[in-house]
Amino acid sequence: MRSGFAISRGSAALLLVALSLTFASAAAAQSDGDAANGSGVEASAGPVAERGAWDAEIVARFGALPIQDGGRVKPISTYAYFQLLKTAGRRYAHDLDGERLSPTEWLLDTLFHPESARRYRVFLVQDSALLDAIGVSHVDRKRRDRYSFEELAPGYSRLHELAVQANELPKGRRTPLQNQMINLVVNLIEYDALLHQFDFARADFGIAEDSALARLFPDTTLIGLASRAHLLRVAAAVLNRGMEALEERLAPEDLERIRQLLPPEALALDDAAREREMAAVEALLGRIDQASQSASHLAVLPPHDPEASAWRTPGEVLISAFLEDASIEPYQDMLAAWERLGLSADDPVAFAAALEEMHAAVTPVAKARGEYRTVPIEVAFYRADFFSRSLALFIFAFILVAITWLFPRWKWAYVLSGAALLPPLALLITGIVYRCIIRGRPPVTTLYETILFITASVVIVSLIIEVMNRRRLALSVGALLGIMGMFLAVKYEALEGVDTMPSLIAVLDTNFWLTTHVLTVTLGYAAGLLAAAFSHVYLVGRIVRADGGGMPFRQALTRMTYGVIAFGLVFSVVGTVLGGIWAADSWGRFWGWDPKENGALMIILWELAILHARKDGLIRELGLHIASVFNAVVVGFSWWGVNLLGVGLHSYGHTSGVSRGLTAFCLAEAAMIALGLYLWARAPRAADSSRP
C-alpha cells in the first residue's frame, strides 16, 4: 500500500496499517474494553442476536450477490443450495421453531445468527453406528437422522481422528461407515467456517484507556485510521524500535517526512516504553490476524485486475496485505460493506442498506470483468425449479395415459394425455436451455446433464412415434421414462451434493468436435434405452397377458423396437467417429482402447448383432426383445459404469455413490432377461426352428 510516500517494501508498519485500515469501521461500533493482559486489544466476539424471520426482499437481494465457488462465479443462493444439499441431503432446513427455511435463509442464519444456527439439525447421519463410534448420544433418534453442530461437537475430536485414519486407506478399501466419517468431517469444518465468517466484524478491538496503545491512539479507539497521521502513528509503534531499523528500510527523505508527521513523544520513548508499546501492537496484530483467518471462506471480492482470475475472500485480502505488502485500496468499499453486514444483523433496515452497499461495490466490478451477466439468469433458473416441476407434471401425464388404457373409448382422454406430456417436456427443455445460457456450453458436458438430455430426447421420440402409430404405447413409455429420468436427475443431484454446473476441465472445454460427439453419442444412449423400454412393455405384456394375445400389439412394439435400435446405431456410430476426431485433436490419437471408447464400441457391436440377427432370421420377435433388454445393460455400463472404474482418459466423469444403483439396474435387467427366456422356453416350437 502507498500512502503518499514510499514506506518500506514488506515492512511491519505497512502490514499493520493495511489490516488496521479495514477494521476501522468495525471498531467504531465497539465500546472500549480492557484486555486480560492490559493491552486493551482482546478480540472477543460480541453478543449475537437471536434470529428473526428474514424479509423476503432481503433474502432475494442477498441471494443475488455474486460469489466465486468451484472455479466459477455464481449467485450466493446457488452456493447455499448445494452447501445445504451436501450437508443435510435435502433442499431445505428447519429453524429452532420448526419453520422451514430455504437454502438462502439457512445461509443467512448461519452467517449472521450463528448461535441459533449451531442448533439447527442439518447434518445427515446415515447410520447411528457412526455416532456410537465417536461417543455421541442418539437416544430416541432414528438410525438415519439429522443432528445439529452443537450435538456433534463433543465427538468431533474422535471423529476427526477416525476420518484421518480412513482417509489414508485407498477408496476401494474404505467401508461405507468410513466414507460417511470423512464426509461428515468435511461438512463440519465447512459449517464451522461459515459460523465464524463474520467474527472479524463482531470482534472487539477497543483500546483501554490505561493500555499501552492509548498513547498511540489518544481517542482510545481505532476510529480515524484512514488519515495519514493516524496510519503513521500505527507505523511508529512498529518501527520505533530504533532509528537504525528505519534507516535500513527507508530513504532519507522518507525518514524526514516521518519525523515531521509523528507526534514528538513517539520518537522519544525509552526502551521500556518501546517494549510495552511493541507488545501491545503485537497483541493487536495477533487478534487482527485471528479475525482475518475467520473471514477466509467466501470469495465475495472480485479483483479489479482483469488478468486475475481468482476472486478473494476478505481474509485473503487482509492476510496478503499483511504478508506481501499488497494494496487493499481496491477492496476497501467491498470490505467495508461486507463488514457492515456483520455488524447490522439484528437491524433489518441497516442490514438492507449494507446489502445495497455491497451490491453497489461488487456488481460494477463483476460486470466489468464479464462475470455478472449470468448471475441474475441463474437466480431465475433455480427459483423456477424447472426439473422438480417437470417431474410432477410427468407423473400427472402418466396418470392420464393410464386412464386411457382403462377407458380406451374416451378419445378426449387420449388427446388430453398426449397434450399433458407437452408442459413437462417444455419445462425440461427450458431448463436445459437456461443451463446452456448460464454455462455458455452445449447441453451435455456432465453426467448429470446427460440425464436431462436423454430424458428430453426419449420423450420427444416417443411423441413422434405416437403421432405415427397412435397406439398409446409410445405415449405410455414416454411418460414413464420422463418420470424415471427426472427422478434420477433429482436423486443424483441430492446424492452428489455438488454444483451441477461446474467449471470444465481443460480437455472438455474445447471445440466443435467434442460438442457434436457428445450430443450424438448421448442420442445413441437415449435410443438404446427407449428401445429397451418398449421391450420391457412387450415382455411384461406377454407374461401378464395384458396384450390379450393380440398380434397387432406385439408387432407394433417389435417394429418400434427395431426402428429405434437402428436409429440409435446410426447416432452411436457417428458419435463414436466424431469422438475419435476430437481425441485425435485433443490427445493426438484417434483410438486408444480407453474404457469409455470400449463402452461405445460395445454398444455399436451389440446393436449391429441385434439388427443382423433379426434380419437374417437368427432371432425372432421374442429374441429381438430379449436382446434389446440386454442392450440396456450395455448402454448403462457405457453411460455410467466405465466412469466408476476411475481409470482412463474419461475418468473425469467419475462420480461416487452410484455403483449400488447401477448394480441394482443390471440385476433388474437380468431378471427381465430371465423372464424373456422363460417365455421362450414355454413357447410352442415351430417345426422348422427353435429360435426365440
Query: What's residue 110's pLDDT?
Result: 97
* Residues of the chain above pLDDT 70, percent: 74
Q: What percent of the chain has pLDDT over 90?
A: 48
pLDDT for the residue numbered 206: 54
Mean pLDDT of the chain: 79
User: Cα–Cα distance between 76 and 301 in angstroms, integer?
Assistant: 12
pLDDT at position 249 is: 46
Using one digit for the tens of pLDDT, what is the confidence trace for 517-555? 888 999 999 999 999 999 999 998 888 776 555 577 788
**String of b and e for 515-532 (b: at least 16 CB within 10 Å)?**
bbbbbbbbbbbbbbbbbb
pLDDT digits (tens, 9 = 90+) for 140-195: 899 999 999 999 999 999 999 999 999 999 877 889 899 999 999 999 999 999 99
pLDDT in tens, 216-239: 555 433 333 333 323 333 444 444
Angle between helices 621-636 and 659-682 (to 10 degrees): 170
Per residue in 458-513, pLDDT (tens digit) is 999 999 999 988 878 899 999 999 999 999 999 888 888 889 988 765 555 556 77
Higher-scoring residue by pLDDT: 95, 215: 95
Tens of pLDDT, residues 234-248:
444 444 433 444 445
Identify the top-confidence range among 74-83, 486-495, 615-624: 74-83
Task: Identify which has the larger pLDDT, 344 or 203.
Answer: 344
Whether the pTM exceeds 0.95: the reply is: no
Q: Which has more pLDDT, 48 or 561? A: 561
> Once rounded to an integer, what is the mean pLDDT over residues 627-636?
95
Please determine, for residue 368, whether its predicted confidence score (pLDDT) is greater than 90: yes
What one-character DSSP code corresponds to residue 139? T
pLDDT number for residue 106: 97
If one compares 1 and 187, the residue with the highest pLDDT of the two is 187
Does residue 224 contact residue 267 with C-beta atoms inside 8 Å? no
Residue 93 backbone phi and psi in degrees, to 5: -130, 170
Coil, strand, or helix at residue 74? strand
Give whole-number Cα distances, 556 to 75, 84, 418, 550, in Å.
Answer: 50, 48, 19, 10
Question: Across residues 332-346, what is the average pLDDT?
Answer: 87
pLDDT given for residue 167 in this prediction: 92
The pLDDT score that the predictor gives to residue 294 is 83
Can you give the pLDDT at residue 268? 56
What band does 350 get if pLDDT is binned at 50, 70 and 90? Answer: very high
In which residue are the cell numbers 476411475 written?
Answer: 646
Q: Pick the more confident residue, 9 or 613.
A: 613
The grid coordinates listed for 142 are 432414528
Say which residues have a Cβ less than 8 Å from residue 620's Cβ, sequence separation at least 6.
Answer: 689, 691, 692
pLDDT recorded at residue 42:
33
What mean pLDDT comes out for the span 567-579? 92
Fill in the DSSP letter of residue 45.
Answer: B
Q: CB-based contacts of 244: which residues, under 8 Å, 6+ apart?
A: none
C-alpha 149: how far from its chain's center? 21
At 285-328, the pLDDT tens digits run 666 677 778 888 999 999 988 888 999 998 888 777 656 556 67
What are the tens digits of pLDDT across the range 100-126? 999 999 999 999 999 999 999 999 999
pLDDT confidence tier of residue 58, bands split at 50, 70 and 90 = very high
Confidence at residue 3, expressed as pLDDT on a 0 to 100 scale: 33
131 pLDDT band, cuts 50/70/90, is: very high
The amino acid that residue 108 corresponds to is L
- Alpha-carbon span 499 to 48, nearest angstrom: 31
Residue 234 has a pLDDT of: 40
| pLDDT score for 471 | 79
> Residue ranges of the domains in the chain?
385-503, 506-692
